[in-house]
Amino acid sequence: MIKRIRTVLAVFTLVVSCARAGIDLQNLDRAVKPQDDFFRYVNGTWLKTMTIPPGESRWGSFTELRERNWENVRAICEEAAAKTSGASAIERIVGDFYASGMNEAAVNAAGVTPLQPALALIAACRTPADILLAQAHLRLLGVTAGFSLSAGADAKDSNRELAQLRQSGLSLPADGTLSDRDYYLNDDDKSKSIRTQFVAHVAKMLELLGDSPDRAQAGAAAVLRIETALARGELSRVQLRDADLNYHKLPVAELAKNDGGLDLAPYFSAIGAPAFTEVNLAHPEFLKAFTAQLASAPVADWQAYLRWHLVLTAAPYLSAPFEDENFRFYQTVLSGVKEPKPRWREVAAAVDGSRSDGIAGIEGGVGEALGQLYVAKYFPPEAKASVLQLVANVRAALRERLQNLEWMDAPTRAKAVAKLDAFTVKMGYPDKWKDYSAARITRDSFVLNVLHARGLQVKRDLAKIGGLVDKSEWNMTPPTVNAYYSVEVNGIAFPAGILQPPFFDPQADDAVNYGGIGTVIGHEMTHGFDDHGRHYDLHGNLVDWWTPESAAKFNERAAGIVRQFSSYTVLDGVHLKGELTQGENIADLGGLKVSFAAMEKALAGKPREKIDGFTPEQRFFLSYAGVWRDAFTPAEQRRRVNIDPHSPGEWRTNGPLSNLPEFWAAFDVPEGAPMHRPAGERVTIW
């Protein structure tokens, strides 16, 4: 599930775990031939014997590591919370935040009381202008409704922070983080059923806020009407990958001519944004849809919409009735999760500011305060140095491939090499830490701690508008089990959390590490040259640096990736979305090739000893397939096919490997075998 963030936006020996990186022979299903289905050859016995835990929607190598890591985070939080005296400022912030969440009795006793000021603000709205101002005030609590205003690097001047107006404000299929227009617009029975259940869920939550059943039902229907109208103005997930479709820079004075006539000046003032003269109206049609709805829908409907988005954001941190109903719909109905995670897990995730379901990113919290304690305990300096050497080796292998790429012409090749040479590398943790003293963290209210932390993140972000981009800033917290590439920074980042088995272990053999973290490093580097990243130059600017001939040859190869993965059936006749997943599939294929080449160079002149009967080349591919071992509930599988740009582990394994001569040679895969794609269908890009 390595994530590429577009500032846009898948264990070290000291980790508290007995885990070691290596090949678990017990997971192999030797009744399956590697040439037929390598994913099941490596993971087949595990697939037959595993059970997805009732608190999870997916399970596999990634989630197993994530769970071990959460135990480490828990230990840090509990130790900080126990320090009632003598705690450092960082320990106090982390400890107070965690203690507020673990005080379940106080959370339940408070009920919805902490939200009353925001609810009163919404109730006082009488005009569309009032709704817009209320929306701004909610944004300062980390509640995104209607649209999103943020800072982001100007895509054509990556050193400058530009105000960004983007589509947002939908709530399906995930809780405000991974919304998708298709859930509102598709006419199939499954989509209709989800919408029906969604309205029932919203009505229940509005009742918990104090609405009568009739008022709650009317409000829920209004929420669906407004969100459906907004969905009609949204770009699809595939369109969001097209950089040009998301860039419409214009003077602020011309906004009203392009957003349907909406005067946003009062909103900008209410949200506390600094004065700015230019803005990227990333999604004009969405803003027009919003403007039309703001003018036509009754204020009462908008009040229901804002109340809903407030409680949607706050529900996981409120009393049990809110938390339980939120879990029932978003986890059980949409993802097939049978029971909630332990309370400590959810609270630790809130402290980190990430999401306990594994979706990476910074949603608020005090992640870099927690990160300082995490790094001090679990990520010694020698770990950073060891992985940086591996990065250098993989970068060198990719550079060599670019220099000798037969389909790319010389002018484009030279610029590709220059872009790779300009890559920045962030490893483990930031060089400078964020300050959370303004977040007002206390032991008194869990939900207010969350909202204040989210609000601080919003204010910190808005303050950047018009300034210089801080390219040293991170988009993930140090404990996060993930990694990313940023197009504007032109750099890769690896939080300390992922630098553990099965991805990396300094005591493992080279083949295991290159098949694990090496392929992830290559994957993230290759994102700089995938269908999205290739449109940005070495400085992170949206510039077309390709000759038409090389661009055409790239597109031809990328189309092959799209065709290949679109042919895979996941369940019930549902196919993978090749267009949506092409960037990750390109990166998987490229990451494998460059990491394998880097391993071969690292092993040059060394004895090629077998371990457990496998050559280094075989162990490389065994390690790779083991890293992507996973299984999903049917509901989660369907949800991810709709929204996730990553292919499931089975296809992340078999898909790219079926294109690789290096894999065929390692396992003697004959032509005509399922894992040996025919010459006319074979795809090679990087």
Over residues 607-661, the pLDDT tens digits come to 888 999 999 999 999 999 999 999 999 989 988 888 889 999 999 999 999 999 9
Say yes or no to pLDDT of 602 above 80: yes
In whole angstroms, give the CA distance from residue 280 to residue 250.
6
Say yes or no to pLDDT of 345 above 50: yes
| C-alpha distances in Å from residue 194, one per residue of 134, 186, 633, 638 | 29, 11, 17, 12
User: Which pair of tokens denotes residue 54?
Assistant: 């009732």
User: Which pair of tokens denotes residue 590?
Assistant: 């490229």
Say yes or no to pLDDT of 552 above 60: yes
Tell me what pLDDT residue 179 has: 61
Say yes or no to pLDDT of 407 above 90: yes
Tell me what pLDDT residue 178 has: 47
CA 638 to chain centre: 18
Helix (H) and strand (E) counts in the chain: 28, 11
Length of the chain as a residue count = 686
Say yes or no to pLDDT of 11 above 80: no
Say yes or no to pLDDT of 243 above 60: yes
Q: Give 200-256 as a 3 state SS string.
A: HHHHHHHHHCCCCHHHHHHHHHHHHHHHHHHHHHCCCCCHHHCHHHHCCEEEHHHHH
Provide the b/e sequence for 241-250 (b: ≥16 CB within 10 Å): bebeebbebe
Say yes or no to pLDDT of 548 above 60: yes
Which of 18-27, 359-368, 371-380, 529-538 is the least confident region? 359-368
Say yes or no to pLDDT of 340 above 80: yes
Domains of the chain: 27-71+381-427+476-667 (3.40.390.10), 114-317 (1.10.1380.10)
Q: Pick left, alpha or beta for residue 250 (phi over 0 → left; psi -120 to 50 → alpha; otherwise beta).
A: beta
Mean pLDDT, residues 601-612 taken together: 90
Contact 555, 534 (CB under 8 A): no
Tell me what pLDDT residue 526 has: 96
User: Which pair of tokens denotes residue 225?
Assistant: 């009407």
Say yes or no to pLDDT of 586 above 90: yes
Over residues 167-180, the pLDDT tens digits come to 998 999 854 344 68
Element (DSSP H or E) covering residue 188: none
Q: Indicate yes or no: pTM above 0.85.
A: yes
Tell me what pLDDT residue 16 has: 35
Say yes or no to pLDDT of 5 above 50: no
Query: Dihedral, CA atoms, 41, 501, 638, 590, nearest 10 degrees?
Result: -80
Judged on CB neighbours under 10 Å (0-12, 13-18, 19+), 662 is middle
Pairing of strands 278-281, 157-167: parallel
State the DSSP code for 114.
G
Mean pLDDT of the chain: 92
In whole angstroms, give the CA distance from residue 151 to residue 564.
37
Tell me what pLDDT residue 384 has: 86
Place of tokens 């005591």: 507
Percent of the chain at pLDDT exceeding 70: 95
Provide the b/e sequence for 555-576 (b: ≥16 CB within 10 Å): eeebebbbebbeebebeeeeeb
Closest CA to 528 of 397, 390, 385, 424: 424
